[in-house]
């Protein structure tokens, strides 16, 4: 019961109550057949599935050809199975909770829209999708709260790491369509795309020796790496900016520009790689670019460590370590992002451990002076030609 004076005099009268709370209205005409909303939602799911199928098919084809080859040394099968299992685990956990988020979002919307006369036995996806911004809702849920953002901010940093390795390791090994991995990471899960990309590295031939740069090329310091520098700066600034509580409230700052900026920035260079002729976007001075990317990695790690420390201090002061751990399961949206982060840590630690064990030596060909040429969309996994014996035909 409300305390005396808690309800303004006369408020209980019908003329003082908004009509929408007095009677249930019929749903808007065509609410459950909103074509545009359905096209966006199922188009998104279709894009996720299509990219995944194309990349996985290329990887399987590469795996079969490489292991039948008599002239190229394949990587150990346990490494291939490791990253394949990590990819499957990442996809399963993140998207189980993503579908849970879709369900929660629908139930919350249905409760909020209870002033419509919506029969419960029928799903009203059209009206739900029309009136809900799932992208914005998921991210707002994942960043509101110090403990929740402790998990969320890390995915920005792992996205930077994927972008750097796509350029530094993927392009030299013939993976020209790096946009497929970056886009997959943004719409499905960064950890899932990272594991598939590392599988592509394992199943692709070693990089060819770089040509000796000319005097003009040696003096050329600018190149595509500048785009990666800007992308890293934009992404880490966005990750730092979203710590602010001003993004937690409906009347505060809009999160959309800050969220969209890193998504766009990280896709610029991969899309340019896939759409422009190589002569327009090439790094001729390989030695210089290698040094640059070492510094870009250091900058990414240093900036990420600083953001991580500041987020950790704030989160622990607010709710302690227990608060951080409990936040992982507070909502399916944060659980999906949180497991994406967990799998990113496991993936990169595994890759670092394998490289320390001498992976680079395992990827060289048995005949150093012969060349294996591979091409493919997104994965550099289609061999130029092969004979029936499984030997890779040389150019």
- Determine the Cα–Cα distance for residues 72 and 37; give it in Å rounded to an integer: 49
- Determine the Cα–Cα distance for residues 26 and 116; give it in Å rounded to an integer: 6
Lowest mean pLDDT among 23-27, 132-136, 362-366: 362-366
- Determine the Cα–Cα distance for residues 165 and 228; give it in Å rounded to an integer: 11
Any idea of the CA torsion for 140, 144, 147, 148, to the nearest 10 degrees?
-10
Q: What is the percent of the chain with per-residue pLDDT over 70, rounded to a whole number?
A: 73
- Determine the Cα–Cα distance for residues 374 and 385; give it in Å rounded to an integer: 9
Q: Residue 25: pLDDT band by 50, 70, 90 thresholds?
A: low
DSSP assignment letter at 166: I
Given this model, what pLDDT does residue 351 score? 93
Query: Which of 281 and 394 is assigned the larger pLDDT?
Result: 281
3-state DSSP: the chain helix, strand, coil percent, rounded to 5?
65, 0, 30
Report pLDDT digits (tens) over 163-192.
999 988 888 888 878 999 999 999 999 999
- Give the H or E element holding residue 375: strand 374-375
Lowest mean pLDDT among 12-21, 248-257, 265-274: 12-21
The average confidence (pLDDT) of the chain is 80
Mean pLDDT on 57-68? 87
**Residue-wise burial string across 171-192, b where 16 or more C-beta atoms lie within 10 A, e elsewhere:** bbbbbbbbbbbbbbbbbbbbbb
Q: Residue 128: pLDDT band by 50, 70, 90 thresholds?
A: confident
Residue 328 dihedral angles phi and psi, to the nearest 5°: -60, -30
Out of 58-67, 95-104, 196-205, give the one with best mean pLDDT.
Answer: 95-104
Given this model, what pLDDT does residue 74 score? 77
Q: Are 331 and 105 spatial neighbours (Cβ–Cβ below 8 Å)?
A: no
Query: Which of 225 and 329 is assigned the larger pLDDT?
Result: 329
Query: Which of 303 and 392 is assigned the larger pLDDT?
Result: 303
Place of tokens 């996985």: 56
Coil vs helix vs strand at 383 = strand
CA distances 252 to 50, 105, 134, 244, Å, are 37, 22, 19, 10
Tell whether the model's pLDDT for residue 14 goes beyond 50.
Answer: no
Report pLDDT digits (tens) over 307-323.
999 999 999 998 899 99
- Determine the Cα–Cα distance for residues 61 and 250; give it in Å rounded to an integer: 49
Query: Which of 127 and 240 is assigned the larger pLDDT?
Result: 240
Out of 212-221, 254-263, 356-365, give the one with best mean pLDDT.
Answer: 254-263
Given this model, what pLDDT does residue 115 score? 58
Mean pLDDT on 148-175? 92
Tell whether the model's pLDDT for residue 22 goes beyond 90.
Answer: no
Out of 16-20, 214-218, 336-340, give the one with best mean pLDDT.
Answer: 336-340
Q: How far apart are the first and last CA of the chain?
A: 85
Given this model, what pLDDT does residue 250 score? 58
Tell whether the model's pLDDT for residue 58 goes beyond 80.
Answer: yes
């Amino acid at each position: 019961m409300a305390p005396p004076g808690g309800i303004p005099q006369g408020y209980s009268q019908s003329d003082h109550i908004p009509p929408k709370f007095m009677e249930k209205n019929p749903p808007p005409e065509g609410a459950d057949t909103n074509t545009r909303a359905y096209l966006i939602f199922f188009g998104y799911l279709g894009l996720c599935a299509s990219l995944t199928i194309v990349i996985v098919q290329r990887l399987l084809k590469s795996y079969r050809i490489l292991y039948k080859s008599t002239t190229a040394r394949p990587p150990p099968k346990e490494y291939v199975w490791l990253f394949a299992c990590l990819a499957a685990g990442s996809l399963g956990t993140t998207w189980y909770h993503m579908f849970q988020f879709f369900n929660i979002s629908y139930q919350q919307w249905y409760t909020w829209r209870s002033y419509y006369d919506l029969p419960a036995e029928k799903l009203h996806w059209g009206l739900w999708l029309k009136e809900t911004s799932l992208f914005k809702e998921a991210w707002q849920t994942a960043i509101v709260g110090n403990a929740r953002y402790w998990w969320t901010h890390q995915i920005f940093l792992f996205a930077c790491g994927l972008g750097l390795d796509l350029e530094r390791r993927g392009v030299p090994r013939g993976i020209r369509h790096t946009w497929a991995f970056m886009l997959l990471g943004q719409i499905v899960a960064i950890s899932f795309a990272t594991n598939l990309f590392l599988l592509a590295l394992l199943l692709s031939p070693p990089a060819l020796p770089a040509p000796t740069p000319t005097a003009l090329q040696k003096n050329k310091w600018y190149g595509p790496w500048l785009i990666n520098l800007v992308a890293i700066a934009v992404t880490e600034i966005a990750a730092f900016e979203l710590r602010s509580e001003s993004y937690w409230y409906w009347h505060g700052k809009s999160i959309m520009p800050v969220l969209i900026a890193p998504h766009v920035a990280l896709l610029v260079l991969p899309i340019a790689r896939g759409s422009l002729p190589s002569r327009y976007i090439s790094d001729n001075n390989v030695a210089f670019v290698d040094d640059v990317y070492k510094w870009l990695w250091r900058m990414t790690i240093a900036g990420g460590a600083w953001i991580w420390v500041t987020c950790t201090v704030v989160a622990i002061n607010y709710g302690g370590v227990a608060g951080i751990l409990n936040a992982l399961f507070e909502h399916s949206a944060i659980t999906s992002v949180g497991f994406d982060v967990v799998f990113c840590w496991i993936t990169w630690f595994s890759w670092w451990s394998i490289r320390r064990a001498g992976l680079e030596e395992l990827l060289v060909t048995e005949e150093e002076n012969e060349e294996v040429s591979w091409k493919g969309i997104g994965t550099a996994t289609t061999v130029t030609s092969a004979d029936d014996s499984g030997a890779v035909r040389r150019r």
